[in-house]
């Protein structure tokens, strides 16, 4: 590459999410753009979907089906008969899902507007589940079913590998050998491939890139990336292609397959900022005669050398510190074109697919990094770094100015509670109004007061790993929490008005049938208590980079495959001789959770969810309730905690009393006004304290500091902390953090 300032094109291959851009290209663009590089980005998944789900795109689908020799199901035949209605409705439906024409909602719900196929078979039940949900939401769900019908038709015929959040995923799942991908890429492009490539060529003409980078976060992005890279090499063999992302970071760390490098020149691992910077220096800043030596300065990068051998070069450059990675840059992504779909009724999963969320990290890596099922040996987990809260809010304000959107999804592995506390304080201090959600650990640092602070800063939902609700297995997986602790933390979030989603796991090594049933009983109690509102059961998977995968014998399982074949290597097969038949429990666990989500059958015997005999639960029926009734430490025992007031500065007036004057503090708040009555001296002290707390966010006032200034004439401070005046203020927004 001869250009001193190369033109860079960053691509997200199909498919990730329909409602919001995957953030990887925005991160790299923000980082490289801040260093003066010319960077363009595009979401090829969105472009493919918009081309496919258009009048012209569907017409091509129907024409190819009619010209082919497909064995059509009755459902597909019905859709072919209704093709004129699909062609007439596809454009307005897409515009509706893009929030460009919400007046279509009444026709979708009541006007027999949409053609209906098999996805609509259970609409009556779904509408019951929706309850009093608004017309627009019901219409959004029906429009999503309509698109899913079309996706079913496409998968049955012209695009068997299509999915709304994946593309040819099966070719990359546990792909120890590159052969299936190679064969698929050598075959002629199918109709969807053709549409994808038709979107690529005008983009290349406009951007004229010297270098094209692909982010591959999931298996369902790999085929699309390689299909695009193949076409780029055909059009312009000199264009450099680079790949990075979550899939290479976990699956391709030991790649030995030379044919992969027919498509991709450089494969980078872990965070991309450092490797990209070194690669660009190598490609542009050094004389040609020194290129061989300069290549040794690359960082975490695979390449194929002149002899056809695979090299991994990792010069020990320091990583780019988290505060220096810059602000994600979404500036050239068509944010108004994304589709807000409503696929399922799980309230947390809805946040994933509905609405435009700016994605940002509070910290790099995981502060806990001990969970034995997690890839804790990899950089994206193991290297923990934080950024100052002021810098995070600077980035938030920049992104809001750029996108016009105030919704944020913090995509941390587990957002650290103290960093979230500082972020919330900074948001409130600067009066930056956002709506946000993210992933946490259910640890005791999340006190009820911290939950209230997070809610005040805009938090609407959190997800956290309960995993296997068994204290024995939680200890074995080194989760660092207990069931009782999880119950209290989730209650704190719920009481603060924050929705709680629990990640649940079954099939962990040595888990017995009894423990599976007992775990389900805990989940039932959590839903019955109302402290968890959403959840999802995941089957345990042993990965090569987790403590279980690194040392199976410690967890009494045996790795039994697959054999390495030069390409992907992460998901491991294992034998669990001490565990139960985990596969058998999956359907019943999913069915029970679906009902619990809707408050159904919470008092029914657990055996009803399974079509085989299961043991009776041994979990105490009141386990969660007893945990919730555990009293908190009294405020007097929290002397070193910081006072924080969510309200405004109060007004004070002095009234005559029967024995002595009394103070009345009036607090004017968003939803209510209330009064606090106390003695004159205490009233002046409270007025001064609350005024200071409402106006000065930079000075930390600890409870012991407040105690030192408490009027000596008013008796003991400990007694005051039990007074009605103090209790009212604590209830209304005086926090100890």
pLDDT, tens digit, for every residue of 530-542? 999 999 999 999 9
DSSP 605-640: -GGGG-SS--PPP-S-TTHHHHHHTSPPPPGGG-TT
Same domain? For 364 and 276 the reply is no
Q: Residue range 595-599: average pLDDT?
A: 92
Q: Residue range 258-271: average pLDDT?
A: 97
Q: Residue range 640-657: average pLDDT?
A: 92
Same domain? For 30 and 92 the reply is no
Tens digits of per-residue pLDDT, 495-523?
Answer: 999 999 999 999 999 999 999 999 999 99
Tens digits of per-residue pLDDT, 666-708?
Answer: 999 887 899 999 999 999 999 999 999 999 888 899 999 999 9
For residue 563, the model assigns a pLDDT of 87
How many folded domains does the chain comprise?
4
Is 444 within 8 Å of 485 (Cβ atoms)? yes
Tens digits of per-residue pLDDT, 296-307?
Answer: 899 999 999 999
State both tokens at 204: 């290349």
State both tokens at 156: 């049955």
Tens digits of per-residue pLDDT, 191-215?
Answer: 999 999 999 999 999 999 999 999 9
- Residues 27, 143: Cα–Cα separation, whole Å: 32
Is residue 399 over pLDDT 60?
yes
How many C-beta atoms surround the C-beta of residue 234 within 10 A? 9
Q: State which of 111, 133, 164 marks the end of a domain.
A: 164
Is 32 within a domain?
yes
For residue 134, the model assigns a pLDDT of 76
Neighbouring C-alpha atoms within 13 Å toward the C-beta of 525: 23
For residue 110, the model assigns a pLDDT of 85
- Residues 646, 299: Cα–Cα separation, whole Å: 47
Tens digits of per-residue pLDDT, 59-100?
Answer: 999 999 999 889 999 999 999 999 999 999 999 999 999 999
Q: Residue range 156-162: average pLDDT?
A: 90
* H or E element, residue 572: strand 571-575
Neighbouring C-alpha atoms within 13 Å toward the C-beta of 337: 16
Q: Residue range 46-65: average pLDDT?
A: 97
Same domain? For 371 and 461 the reply is yes
For residue 127, the model assigns a pLDDT of 54
Same domain? For 179 and 284 the reply is yes
Is 415 within 8 Å of 438 (Cβ atoms)? yes
CATH of the domain at 396: 3.80.30.20
Same domain? For 160 and 172 the reply is no
Tens digits of per-residue pLDDT, 451-505?
Answer: 999 999 999 999 999 988 899 999 999 999 999 999 999 999 999 999 999 999 9
Same domain? For 572 and 669 the reply is no
Is residue 169 over pLDDT 70?
no
For residue 564, the model assigns a pLDDT of 87
User: Helix 44-52 to helix 55-67 angle, to the nearest 10 degrees?
Assistant: 70
DSSP 144-197: HHHHHHHHHHHHHTT-TTEETTEESGGGTTT--SSHHHHHHHHSPP-HHHHHHH
For residue 287, the model assigns a pLDDT of 52
Q: Residue range 566-583: average pLDDT?
A: 90
Q: Which domain holds residue 287?
A: 7-46+167-317
- Residue among 212, 282, 230 at smallest CA distance from 39: 212
- Residues 671, 648: Cα–Cα separation, whole Å: 12
Is 2 within a domain?
no
Tens digits of per-residue pLDDT, 321-367?
Answer: 988 999 999 999 999 999 998 876 678 888 888 889 999 999 999 99
Is 485 within a domain?
yes
Longest CA–CA span in the chain (Å) reads 98
pTM greater than 0.95 (yes/no): no
Is 344 within a domain?
no
Q: State which of 292, 317, 342 marks the end of a domain.
A: 317
- Residue among 9, 79, 14 at smallest CA distance from 44: 14
Q: What percent of the chain clears pLDDT 90, i.e. is strictly above it?
A: 80
For residue 75, the model assigns a pLDDT of 95
Is 1 within a domain?
no
**Residue-averaged pLDDT of the chain:** 92
Same domain? For 32 and 62 the reply is no
Same domain? For 575 and 613 the reply is yes
Same domain? For 287 and 398 the reply is no
Is 337 within a domain?
no
Same domain? For 33 and 83 the reply is no
For residue 721, the model assigns a pLDDT of 94
Residue 4: pLDDT band with limits 50, 70, 90? low
Same domain? For 147 and 180 the reply is no
Q: State which of 628, 644, 674 marks the end of a domain.
A: 628
- Residues 721, 222: Cα–Cα separation, whole Å: 60
Q: Which residue has the tokens 């919400």?
A: 102
Which one-letter DSSP state was computed for residue 319?
P
Is 138 within a domain?
yes
Same domain? For 455 and 502 the reply is yes
Strands (E), 415-458: 435-440
Is residue 613 over pLDDT 70?
yes
For residue 669, the model assigns a pLDDT of 85
Which one-letter DSSP state was computed for residue 530?
T
For residue 111, the model assigns a pLDDT of 74
Is 700 within a domain?
yes
């Amino acid at each position: 590459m001869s250009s001193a300032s190369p033109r860079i094109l960053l691509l997200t291959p199909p498919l990730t999410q329909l409602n919001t851009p995957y953030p990887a290209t925005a991160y790299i663009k923000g980082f490289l753009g801040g260093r003066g590089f010319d960077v363009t980005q595009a979401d090829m998944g969105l472009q493919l979907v918009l081309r496919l789900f258009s009048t012209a795109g569907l017409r091509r689908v129907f024409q190819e089906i009619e010209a082919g020799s497909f064995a059509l199901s009755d459902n597909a035949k019905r859709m072919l008969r209704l093709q004129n209605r699909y062609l007439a409705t596809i454009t307005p439906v897409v515009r509706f899902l893009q929030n460009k024409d919400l007046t279509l909602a009444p026709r979708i719900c009541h006007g027999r507007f949409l053609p209906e196929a098999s996805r609509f078979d259970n609409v009556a039940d779904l509408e019951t589940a929706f309850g009093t949900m608004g017309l627009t939401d019901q219409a959004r769900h029906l429009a999503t079913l309509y698109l899913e019908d079309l996706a079913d038709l496409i998968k049955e015929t012209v695009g068997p590998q299509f999915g709304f959040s994946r593309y040819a995923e099966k070719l990359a799942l546990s792909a120890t050998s590159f052969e299936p991908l190679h064969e698929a890429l050598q075959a002629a492009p199918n109709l969807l491939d053709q549409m994808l490539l038709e979107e690529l060529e005008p983009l290349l003409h406009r951007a004229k890139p010297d270098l094209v980078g692909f982010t591959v976060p999931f298996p369902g992005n790999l085929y699309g990336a390689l299909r695009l890279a193949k076409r780029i090499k055909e059009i312009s063999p000199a264009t450099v292609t680079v790949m990075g992302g979550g899939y290479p970071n976990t699956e391709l760390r030991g790649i030995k397959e030379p044919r992969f490098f027919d498509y991709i020149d450089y494969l980078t691992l872990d965070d991309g900022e450092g490797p990209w910077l070194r690669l660009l220096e190598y490609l542009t800043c050094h004389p040609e005669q020194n290129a061989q030596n300069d290549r040794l300065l690359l960082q975490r990068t695979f390449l194929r050398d002149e002899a056809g051998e695979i090299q991994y070069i990792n010069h020990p450059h320091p990583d780019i510190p988290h505060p220096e990675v810059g602000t994600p840059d979404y500036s050239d992504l068509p944010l108004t074109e994304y589709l807000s779909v409503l696929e399922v009724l799980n309230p947390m999963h809805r946040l994933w697919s509905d609405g435009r969320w700016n994605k940002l990290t509070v910290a790099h890596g995981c502060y806990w990094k001990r969970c034995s099922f997690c890839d804790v040996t990899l950089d994206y987990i193991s290297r923990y770094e934080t950024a100052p809260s002021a810098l995070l809010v600077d980035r938030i304000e920049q992104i809001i100015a750029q996108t016009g959107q105030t919704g944020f999804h913090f995509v941390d592995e587990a957002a650290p509670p103290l960093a979230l506390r500082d972020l919330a304080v900074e948001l409130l201090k600067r009066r930056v109004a956002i709506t946000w959600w993210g992933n946490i650990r259910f640890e005791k640092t999340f006190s009820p007061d911290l939950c209230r602070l997070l809610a005040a800063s805009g938090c609407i939902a959190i997800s956290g790993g309960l995993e296997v609700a068994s204290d024995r297995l939680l200890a074995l997986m080194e989760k660092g929490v207990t069931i009782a602790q999880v119950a209290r933390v989730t209650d704190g979030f719920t009481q603060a008005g924050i929705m709680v989603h629990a990640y649940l796991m079954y099939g962990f090594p040595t888990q017995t049938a009894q423990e599976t049933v007992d775990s389900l009983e805990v989940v039932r109690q959590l839903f019955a208590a109302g402290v968890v509102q959403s959840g999802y059961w995941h089957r345990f998977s042993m990965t090569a980079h987790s403590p279980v995968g690194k040392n199976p014998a410690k967890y009494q399982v045996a790795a039994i495959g697959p054999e390495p074949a030069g390409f992907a290597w992460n998901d491991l097969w294992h034998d669990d001789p001490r565990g139960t038949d985990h596969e058998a429990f999956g359907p019943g666990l999913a069915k029970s959770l679906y009902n619990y989500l809707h408050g159904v059958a919470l008092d029914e015997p657990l055996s009803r969810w399974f079509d085989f005999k299961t043991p009776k639960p041994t979990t105490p029926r009141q386990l969660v309730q007893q945990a919730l009734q555990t009293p908190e430490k009294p405020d007097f025992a929290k002397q070193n905690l910081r006072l924080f007031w969510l309200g405004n500065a109060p007004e004070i007036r002095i009234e005559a009393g029967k024995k002595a004057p009394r103070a009345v503090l009036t607090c004017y708040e968003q939803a209510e006004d209330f009064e606090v009555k106390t003695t004159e001296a205490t009233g002046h002290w409270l007025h001064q304290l609350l005024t200071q707390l409402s106006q000065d966010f930079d000075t930390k006032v600890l409870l012991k500091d407040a105690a030192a200034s408490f009027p000596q004439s008013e008796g003991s401070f400990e007694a005051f902390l039990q007074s009605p005046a103090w209790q009212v203020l604590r209830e209304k927004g005086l926090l100890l953090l």
